[in-house]
Each structure stands twice: as structure tokens, then as C-alpha cells.
């Protein structure tokens, strides 16, 4: 029987719990980033005071119903986005970052609000509704990455998972996994281990009006250096009047890893752009 692959966050947490399993090179790459993530919780609490914190809803004590399969439902669509919020005029941010209206902690990381790009709607407590532009794709990737940690879900996660992911086998399996964690039928990841990082930039790997691949670059808030950066790559498709996620692999909806020191990216984040330290 094939061994199941762990999610991106679970793999990183396991690197801290079982350093003896790492090679010397892997230990050097992960040491600063992952240890900084754990140690950074104290600083994270201080940072959170300076911004509007939207806390994750804790799991309910009652059981979460089993999720429907992709064949039983269609992708839910919220109410129409107001034209006063969303501007679908084409933008090119491949080399220059968009101006933000502000950064706030929603889910696990600071996420942006960009005038005209979103988010413009709330879907059962989660931020959705992004413009049909390159900027909208970037903002969508940032919000989805922060809110869709299936290894440490909240009670908002099932609805967002159903909304954000293109229906398919992986979506069904992740929904069952989330339900099992919320029902305490299987262990999840320690949520504190993923909170001590912030976005510092991005790259637009590819973009068309129909599809986009965005890589968001993150860094430890305590141990800031080129060696303590990682990226999350999100592939998006425009469907049902919003950006939706096309799973990166057969095992996970995103792809991520250590960001190569010296690799180019567009600086963009609460510290890089707005001076939030």
C-alpha cells in the first residue's frame, strides 16, 4: 500500500520534530525558517495588536457532517460583486507591485486588500471575490494560501475549500480530511507553528485571462534572511466569476518549498511596502 504524502505544512513541522531524518543540507535550509516560525509566536502577538486581527473560528464541539462529493454539488457562487469594489481593467504587476489599501491578519498570514482587486465578498466567513486581472489573481493567491491550511482547518475551511477549489477527486479527499480533523478523528497540525511568517514578495510565473500561476514568497518574522524564505505556488483559473484553484498535484492543492537565495521576486508585503515591522 502506497504511503500517503503529508501536506506542505506537515512536512515542515516534521522537519522540526525529527531532525535526525534530514540530510545536512536539508537541516541547514530548514533550521532558520522553521525554528524562527516557532520562536516567532511571541512577536506575532505583538504585531497582531497593530492590525485588525480576524481570528479563526475554533472547531465546534459537535460533529461536522460528511462533505458532499464534487458530483453532488456545483461550485457555490456568492452574490454578484459590486462594480464599485471590483475593477476588471487589465493590469500588469509582473515587475511593479500593486498599491495596497492595507494589510490584516486573516487566517495564518498578513493578507492585502487592494482597491479594485478585492477581496470584495465574504463566503461563509472567508474572503473571496477578486478582480479578473493579474492583480486580482495575486490577491486571490495570497488570501487562499492564508486561509486554506487543510492540515490545521477551522470550521470555515470546508465551505472555502468547496468554493475555491475546482471540483474533482482531490477536492473530495481534502474535504474528507478536513472533516476528520475537525471531528477529532485524525490529528491536525499545530496551528501556532505556521503563524510566525509574513509575505515579502511574489512572482507571476504565468498569466492569461483564463489562467494564472502566482508564487508568493514568505519569510520568518524573527530571523529575516535569504536563507529563511519559502514560497507557495498557486495555479488559478477564472471560473464562475472568480479566481478558483486548480490543484498543483494529485496530493495537494498548492506547491511549495524553500525559496532559492538570490532568486528574483517583486518585493511586496506589510514590511516591504508599508513599513509594518
Pairing of strands 102-106, 109-113: antiparallel
- Asked if residue 2 belongs to a domain, the reply is no
In which band, very low, low, confident or very high, does the pLDDT at 50 lie, cut at 50, 70 and 90? very low
At residue 243, the 3 state secondary structure works out as strand
Instruction: Specify the higher pLDDT residue, 207 or 11.
Output: 207
Lowest mean pLDDT among 12-21, 167-176, 261-270: 12-21
In which band, very low, low, confident or very high, does the pLDDT at 112 lie, cut at 50, 70 and 90? very high
Res 23: pLDDT: 57
The 10 Å CB-count burial string (b at 16+, else e) for 7-37 is bbbbebbebbeeeeebeeeeeebbbbbbbbb
Res 228: pLDDT: 80
Res 194: pLDDT: 57
Res 273: pLDDT: 56
In which band, very low, low, confident or very high, does the pLDDT at 225 lie, cut at 50, 70 and 90? low
- Asked if residue 75 belongs to a domain, the reply is no
Quote the CA–CA distance of 117 and 102 in Å, as a whole number: 13
Lowest mean pLDDT among 77-81, 167-171, 240-244: 77-81
Q: How far is CA 55 from CA 40, 51, 52, 64, in A?
A: 18, 12, 9, 20
Res 123: pLDDT: 94
Give the mean model confidence (pLDDT) for residues 257-273: 89
- Asked if residue 66 belongs to a domain, the reply is no
Count of domains for the chain:
1
- Asked if residue 62 belongs to a domain, the reply is no
Name, in order, each residue with C-beta under 8 angstroms of 46's C-beta and a sequence gap of 6 or more: none
Lowest mean pLDDT among 4-13, 62-71, 171-180, 199-208: 62-71
Cell, residue 93: 504587476
Torsion of CA 135, 137, 138, 140, to 10 degrees: 120
The alpha carbons of the chain give a radius of gyration, in whole angstroms, of 18
End-to-end CA distance of the chain: 48
Structural domain boundaries enclosing 245: 8-55+82-267
Instruction: Name the residue with cell 486581527.
Output: 53
Per-residue pLDDT tens digits for 57-74: 333 333 444 444 443 444
- Asked if residue 67 belongs to a domain, the reply is no
- Asked if residue 137 belongs to a domain, the reply is yes
Quote the CA–CA distance of 246 and 215 in Å, as a whole number: 14
Res 189: pLDDT: 81
- Asked if residue 65 belongs to a domain, the reply is no
Quote the CA–CA distance of 93 and 41 in Å, as a whole number: 32
Give the pTM. 0.71
At residue 112, the 3 state secondary structure works out as strand
Give the mean model confidence (pLDDT) for residues 84-93: 92
- Asked if residue 274 belongs to a domain, the reply is no
Amino acid at each position: 500500500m502506497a504511503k500517503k504524502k503529508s501536506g506542505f505544512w506537515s512536512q515542515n513541522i516534521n522537519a522540526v520534530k525529527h531532525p535526525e531524518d534530514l540530510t545536512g543540507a536539508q537541516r541547514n535550509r530548514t533550521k532558520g525558517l522553521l525554528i524562527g516560525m516557532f520562536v516567532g509566536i511571541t512577536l506575532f502577538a505583538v504585531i497582531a495588536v497593530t492590525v485588525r486581527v480576524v481570528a479563526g473560528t475554533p472547531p465546534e464541539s459537535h460533529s461536522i457532517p460528511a462533505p458532499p462529493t464534487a458530483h453532488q454539488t456545483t461550485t457555490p457562487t456568492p452574490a454578484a460583486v459590486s462594480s464599485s469594489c471590483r475593477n476588471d481593467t487589465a493590469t500588469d504587476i509582473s515587475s511593479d507591485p500593486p498599491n495596497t489599501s492595507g494589510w490584516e491578519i486573516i487566517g495564518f498570514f498578513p493578507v492585502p486588500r487592494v482597491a479594485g482587486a478585492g477581496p470584495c465578498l465574504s463566503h461563509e466567513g472567508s474572503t473571496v471575490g477578486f478582480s479578473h486581472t493579474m492583480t486580482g489573481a495575486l490577491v486571490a493567491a495570497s488570501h487562499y494560501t492564508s486561509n486554506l491550511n487543510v492540515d490545521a482547518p477551522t470550521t470555515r475551511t470546508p465551505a472555502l475549500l468547496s468554493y475555491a477549489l475546482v471540483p474533482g477527486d482531490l477536492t473530495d479527499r481534502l474535504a474528507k480530511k478536513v472533516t476528520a480533523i475537525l471531528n477529532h478523528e485524525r490529528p491536525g497540525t499545530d496551528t501556532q507553528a505556521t503563524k510566525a511568517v509574513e509575505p515579502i514578495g511574489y512572482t507571476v510565473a504565468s498569466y492569461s485571462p483564463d489562467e494564472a500561476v502566482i508564487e508568493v514568497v514568505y519569510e520568518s518574522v524573527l530571523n529575516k534572511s535569504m536563507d529563511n524564505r519559502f514560497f507557495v505556488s498557486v495555479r488559478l483559473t477564472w471560473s464562475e466569476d472568480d479566481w478558483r484553484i486548480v490543484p498543483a498535484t494529485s496530493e495537494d492543492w498548492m506547491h511549495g518549498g524553500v525559496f532559492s537565495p538570490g532568486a528574483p521576486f517583486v518585493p511586496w508585503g506589510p514590511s516591504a511596502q508599508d513599513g509594518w515591522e
